[in-house]
Amino acid sequence: MRKKIVAGNWKMNNNFHEAEDLLIEIDEMMTDNPVPGVAVVLCVPFPYLEMATDMAKESNFLVGAQNLYPGESGAFTGEISAPMLASLETDVCIIGHSERRKYFHEDNALLAEKVKSALKYEIIPIFCCGETLAEREKGIHKEVVENQLKESLFHLNPDGFSNVVIAYEPVWAIGTGVNATPEQAQEMHSFIRYIVAKKYGEPLAGETSILYGGSCNSANAGVLFAQPDVDGGLIGGASLKAEEFWKIVQSFDNP
């Protein structure tokens, strides 16, 4: 059975004290209204990783970073490596978010290196893929996503790939308030699973968690997560309020 996952991507939000409050509030929700069978991941800014991983020792959530640099160590001013994240007991790392691709010009080849580096240090990559509006309007969205998967993930052997989580995040849905319809999400998720099955076989494709991201909130999560190939969500804006985030975690089997 593949895992159900809800991951919050806090992006560049919250100062240290606000982050601490939010972690405490989410932890309280978790204790008061646990949702068995759903893995909850909080992808916090780098400076808060230690606080989050400390708290996670007494709690039930996993802690994620939002990026890493694929070098081991050395003269890369301002960058953070996978072994650094691993030394803070970081469980997960978002790789290839569309904001990284757009603002920091990260391409598929660099992302392949980042994925390799994360896996080497036993950090689970949440690998993001997804098309822009222009690409969807041209009707090449499937081709674009297939290429992203091929060029950044398909160098992995089956063992490596079995530790990857995929997030389908159409760029036009991120932070816009316009989510993909459940039908659009299901179509792309089943396509992604088909591409993975062609490369790694049906059993491994069936075990791969594929999350949806892009304006997912408590009002639409239930129906999105009810799609057969949607295994949860990568949540941006709606992960910054504990109550809203927790409603999303509770949305499985609750369309």
214 contributes a contact to ligand PGA by CB under 6 A: yes
170-199 binders of ligand PGA (CB under 6 A): 174-175
Distances in Å between the Cα of 36 and the Cα atoms of 39, 138, 241 are: 8, 41, 21
Annotated catalytic residue: which of 25, 169, 189, 202? Answer: 169
The answer to whether the beta carbons of residues 167 and 212 sit under 8 Å apart is: yes
- Which of 9, 81, 209, 227 lies at the binding interface for ligand PGA (CB under 6 A)? 9
By beta-carbon proximity to ligand PGA, the closer residue of 188 and 200 is 188
Contacts 24+ apart (CB under 8 A), 102-108: 102/171, 108/147, 108/148, 108/151, 108/152
By beta-carbon proximity to ligand PGA, the closer residue of 200 and 216 is 216
64 contributes a contact to ligand PGA by CB under 6 A: no
At 234, is the secondary structure helix, strand, or coil? Answer: strand
Span from 34-42, 112-120, 167-175, 222-230 in contact with ligand PGA (CB under 6 A): 167-175
Span from 105-113, 149-157, 186-194, 211-219 in contact with ligand PGA (CB under 6 A): 211-219
Residue with the CB atom nearest ligand PGA in the bound state: 236
- How large is the C-alpha radius of gyration of the chain? 17
234 contributes a contact to ligand PGA by CB under 6 A: yes
231 contributes a contact to ligand PGA by CB under 6 A: no
Distances in Å between the Cα of 130 and the Cα atoms of 110, 113, 135, 174 are: 17, 19, 10, 10
CB of 81 to ligand PGA, least distance (A): 23
d(CA 130, CA 175): 14
By beta-carbon proximity to ligand PGA, the closer residue of 69 and 245 is 245
Known active-site residue 169: yes
Known active-site residue 99: no
SS (H, E, C) 50-74: HHHHHHHCCCCCEEEECCCECCCCC
Task: Give the binding site for ligand PGA (CB under 6 A).
Answer: 9, 169, 174-175, 213-216, 234-238
Q: Annotated catalytic sites, by residue?
A: 97, 169
